[in-house]
Structure 1
């Protein structure tokens, strides 16, 4: 049940960010839910592989390269979901930063598992 609430809260964050960021487009609420599911799957499967492959760069940049990995995950979600569009890398970077901020604020409302 908590997973479903997290997906729905992420979808709400995606819709809110799409309204305010000029380079992000979401066709509808169902698309936002699909984007949230795809982001959860990509963060579960692809992100650990990218982190392992880029570990030396991540250590060298003191963890700041993880922001680039998050932007890559957003661009991958853009490629997989029709109806979701991100105009470029820097918009994806800003979107991932703001999405992480919104998720932490919204997930704090859920409390502990």
Structure 2
């Protein structure tokens, strides 16, 4: 899946998840979702590898489940950069849940895209 396709999938997932779970997750409008997808991709490019290296022992102890905590933390950082009034989570646990659903959606779309070719 190309970078642009991943941005589109994340944008649509952000909007969909904010409609499905309005008490957990809020996105102000479509443009905020696009900006948040871009910010998340930049954070995943630069910050996420550092966090994975630093948390490698606990990730091994939890058999990789700690990566969902890192993904939730990345979404919280995205919320702080974009602005909590336009892109917000009700709690850290809701960010982890949204990151879990977002990972699931991305894996389904990636697998569908890979099987298509």
Partner of 1:40 in structure 2?
41
Instruction: Please list, as runs of the form range in 1=range in 2, the aligned pairs for 1:29-68 lying within 5 A after superposition.
Output: 29-68=30-69
Match of 2:91 among 88, 91, 95: 88
Stretches of structure 2 that go unaligned for 5 or more consecutive residues are none
Which position in structure 1 is the counterpart of 2:16?
16
Q: Structure 1 residue 28 and structure 2 residue 29: aligned?
A: yes
Structure 1 unaligned spans of 5+: none
1:62 counterpart SS class = coil
- For residue 4 of structure 2, what is the aligned residue in structure 1? 4
The alignment covers a number of residue pairs equal to 113
Task: Name the CA distance, whole Å, in 2 between partners of 1:4 and 1:73.
Answer: 20
Distance in 1 between residues matched to 2:80 and 2:95, nearest whole Å: 12
TM-score (norm 2): 0.88
Q: Displacement, 1:5?
A: 1.9
User: Residue 109 of structure 1: CA displacement?
Assistant: 4.2
Q: Structure 1-normalised TM-score?
A: 0.91
Alignment of 1:69-80 (within 5 A): 69-80=70-81
RMSD: 1.7
* Runs of 4 or more consecutive aligned structure 1 residues displaced over 4 Å after TM superposition: none
> How many angstroms apart in 2 are the aligned matches of 1:62 and 1:111?
26
